[in-house]
Amino acid sequence: MTFALTPERERELVEILARYPTEHSKMAACIPALHLCQDQIGWCSDEVVTFVASRLDLPAAHVKGVVTFYSLFNQRPVGKHQLWVCRTLPCALRGAGEVLAHCEKRLGIKAGETTADGAITLRTAECLASCSTAPMIQVDKVYHENLSLPQVDTILDRLQKG
Protein backbone atom coordinates (compact mmCIF):
# COMPACT_ATOMS: atom_id res chain seq x y z
CA MET A 1 0.00 0.00 0.00
CA THR A 2 1.29 3.48 -0.84
CA PHE A 3 1.52 5.93 2.04
CA ALA A 4 0.00 9.41 1.76
CA LEU A 5 -0.47 12.14 4.33
CA THR A 6 -3.88 13.54 5.17
CA PRO A 7 -4.51 16.98 3.64
CA GLU A 8 -3.90 18.66 7.01
CA ARG A 9 -0.61 16.83 7.53
CA GLU A 10 0.38 17.52 3.93
CA ARG A 11 0.07 21.24 4.70
CA GLU A 12 2.24 20.69 7.78
CA LEU A 13 4.85 18.94 5.66
CA VAL A 14 4.91 21.86 3.22
CA GLU A 15 5.53 24.18 6.19
CA ILE A 16 8.31 21.92 7.46
CA LEU A 17 9.98 21.80 4.05
CA ALA A 18 9.81 25.60 3.78
CA ARG A 19 12.02 25.79 6.89
CA TYR A 20 14.68 23.69 5.13
CA PRO A 21 15.03 25.28 1.68
CA THR A 22 18.49 24.12 0.58
CA GLU A 23 19.69 20.76 -0.62
CA HIS A 24 21.89 20.31 2.46
CA SER A 25 19.10 21.18 4.87
CA LYS A 26 16.78 18.53 3.40
CA MET A 27 18.51 15.96 5.62
CA ALA A 28 17.57 18.05 8.64
CA ALA A 29 13.92 17.94 7.55
CA CYS A 30 13.99 14.15 7.73
CA ILE A 31 13.31 13.90 11.47
CA PRO A 32 10.31 16.25 11.59
CA ALA A 33 8.91 14.69 8.41
CA LEU A 34 9.18 11.21 9.92
CA HIS A 35 7.51 12.38 13.14
CA LEU A 36 4.65 13.81 11.10
CA CYS A 37 4.16 10.50 9.29
CA GLN A 38 4.48 8.46 12.48
CA ASP A 39 1.88 10.67 14.16
CA GLN A 40 -0.53 9.66 11.40
CA ILE A 41 -0.15 5.87 11.46
CA GLY A 42 1.76 5.19 14.68
CA TRP A 43 4.96 3.83 13.15
CA CYS A 44 7.46 4.27 10.32
CA SER A 45 6.62 1.54 7.83
CA ASP A 46 8.64 0.87 4.68
CA GLU A 47 6.01 2.88 2.83
CA VAL A 48 6.66 5.85 5.15
CA VAL A 49 10.41 5.54 4.55
CA THR A 50 9.82 5.53 0.78
CA PHE A 51 7.43 8.50 1.02
CA VAL A 52 9.83 10.63 3.09
CA ALA A 53 12.80 9.71 0.90
CA SER A 54 10.87 10.71 -2.20
CA ARG A 55 9.54 13.98 -0.78
CA LEU A 56 12.95 15.04 0.55
CA ASP A 57 14.90 13.68 -2.41
CA LEU A 58 17.03 11.57 -0.09
CA PRO A 59 18.22 7.99 -0.44
CA ALA A 60 15.79 5.57 1.23
CA ALA A 61 18.80 4.08 3.04
CA HIS A 62 19.44 7.42 4.73
CA VAL A 63 15.82 7.72 5.89
CA LYS A 64 15.81 4.09 7.09
CA GLY A 65 19.04 4.82 8.98
CA VAL A 66 17.32 7.69 10.80
CA VAL A 67 14.36 5.46 11.70
CA THR A 68 16.59 2.69 13.03
CA PHE A 69 18.95 5.03 14.91
CA TYR A 70 16.42 6.98 16.98
CA SER A 71 14.40 5.04 19.53
CA LEU A 72 11.42 7.41 19.28
CA PHE A 73 10.66 6.10 15.81
CA ASN A 74 8.60 2.92 15.89
CA GLN A 75 9.76 0.29 13.43
CA ARG A 76 6.60 -1.78 13.76
CA PRO A 77 3.02 -1.14 14.87
CA VAL A 78 2.63 -0.23 18.53
CA GLY A 79 -0.20 -0.12 21.03
CA LYS A 80 -2.67 2.70 21.47
CA HIS A 81 -0.44 3.92 24.32
CA GLN A 82 3.31 3.71 24.68
CA LEU A 83 4.67 3.41 28.20
CA TRP A 84 8.38 4.23 28.50
CA VAL A 85 10.31 3.29 31.64
CA CYS A 86 13.49 5.31 32.04
CA ARG A 87 16.41 3.10 33.02
CA THR A 88 19.31 5.56 33.16
CA LEU A 89 21.47 5.43 36.30
CA PRO A 90 19.53 8.00 38.40
CA CYS A 91 16.26 6.19 37.69
CA ALA A 92 17.89 2.79 38.20
CA LEU A 93 19.25 3.86 41.58
CA ARG A 94 15.79 5.00 42.64
CA GLY A 95 13.82 1.92 41.57
CA ALA A 96 13.35 1.88 37.79
CA GLY A 97 14.14 -1.84 37.69
CA GLU A 98 11.31 -2.54 40.10
CA VAL A 99 8.97 -0.27 38.12
CA LEU A 100 9.80 -2.11 34.89
CA ALA A 101 9.41 -5.55 36.48
CA HIS A 102 6.11 -4.46 38.00
CA CYS A 103 4.83 -3.20 34.63
CA GLU A 104 5.90 -6.41 32.89
CA LYS A 105 4.11 -8.53 35.48
CA ARG A 106 0.94 -6.41 35.49
CA LEU A 107 0.73 -6.21 31.71
CA GLY A 108 1.87 -9.78 31.03
CA ILE A 109 4.49 -8.63 28.52
CA LYS A 110 8.20 -7.83 28.39
CA ALA A 111 9.76 -4.52 27.39
CA GLY A 112 9.44 -4.11 23.63
CA GLU A 113 6.14 -5.99 23.47
CA THR A 114 2.51 -4.92 23.13
CA THR A 115 -0.40 -6.22 25.17
CA ALA A 116 -2.66 -8.71 23.38
CA ASP A 117 -5.47 -6.16 23.23
CA GLY A 118 -3.20 -3.66 21.49
CA ALA A 119 -3.66 -1.11 24.26
CA ILE A 120 -0.12 -0.69 25.60
CA THR A 121 3.40 -1.08 24.25
CA LEU A 122 5.99 -1.26 27.03
CA ARG A 123 9.35 0.33 26.19
CA THR A 124 12.54 1.31 27.96
CA ALA A 125 14.52 4.48 27.41
CA GLU A 126 18.09 5.35 28.19
CA CYS A 127 17.16 8.82 29.38
CA LEU A 128 13.96 10.79 29.52
CA ALA A 129 15.71 13.83 31.06
CA SER A 130 13.92 13.77 34.39
CA CYS A 131 16.76 12.54 36.58
CA SER A 132 15.87 14.58 39.64
CA THR A 133 12.36 13.09 39.75
CA ALA A 134 13.27 9.42 39.40
CA PRO A 135 11.88 6.87 39.06
CA MET A 136 9.69 8.03 36.25
CA ILE A 137 7.78 6.80 33.24
CA GLN A 138 6.45 8.50 30.17
CA VAL A 139 3.01 7.53 28.87
CA ASP A 140 2.64 8.80 25.33
CA LYS A 141 3.87 12.38 25.81
CA VAL A 142 3.10 12.77 29.53
CA TYR A 143 5.67 12.35 32.31
CA HIS A 144 4.82 10.64 35.61
CA GLU A 145 7.54 11.27 38.18
CA ASN A 146 8.63 10.33 41.70
CA LEU A 147 6.71 7.09 41.31
CA SER A 148 5.81 4.45 43.82
CA LEU A 149 4.44 1.07 42.71
CA PRO A 150 0.90 1.99 43.85
CA GLN A 151 1.12 5.09 41.64
CA VAL A 152 2.24 2.90 38.73
CA ASP A 153 -0.80 0.67 39.38
CA THR A 154 -3.09 3.71 39.18
CA ILE A 155 -1.56 4.71 35.83
CA LEU A 156 -1.82 1.15 34.48
CA ASP A 157 -5.43 0.85 35.67
CA ARG A 158 -6.33 4.05 33.83
CA LEU A 159 -4.62 2.89 30.64
CA GLN A 160 -6.21 -0.53 30.72
CA LYS A 161 -9.68 0.94 31.20
CA GLY A 162 -9.19 3.09 28.11
Question: Residue 23: what pLDDT?
Answer: 76
Instruction: Identify whether residues 88 and 152 lie together within a single domain.
Output: yes
The structure's pTM equals 0.81
* CATH of residue 143: 3.40.30.10
Q: Is residue 122 part of a domain?
A: yes
Instruction: Identify whether residues 62 and 90 lie together within a single domain.
Output: no
Instruction: Identify whether residues 63 and 113 lie together within a single domain.
Output: no
Per residue, what are the HEC states of the chain?
Answer: CCCCCCHHHHHHHHHHHHCCCCCHHHCCCHHHHHHHHHHHHCCCCHHHHHHHHHHHCCCHHHHHHHHHHCCCCCCCCCCCEEEEEECCHHHHHCCHHHHHHHHHHHHCCCCCCECCCCCEEEEEECCCCCHHHCCCEEECCEEECCCCHHHHHHHHHHHHHC
Q: Is residue 154 part of a domain?
A: yes
Q: Is residue 51 part of a domain?
A: yes
Q: Is residue 11 part of a domain?
A: yes
Q: Range of 143's domain?
A: 81-161
Q: Domain boundary at 69, 95, 123, which?
A: 69
Instruction: Identify whether residues 110 and 41 lie together within a single domain.
Output: no
Question: Residue 26: what pLDDT?
Answer: 85
Instruction: Identify whether residues 88 and 26 lie together within a single domain.
Output: no
Q: How many domains does the chain have?
A: 2
Instruction: Identify whether residues 61 and 93 lie together within a single domain.
Output: no
Q: In this predicted model, what pLDDT tens digit does every residue of 7-53 receive, in sequence order?
A: 999 999 999 999 998 877 888 999 999 999 999 999 999 999 999 99
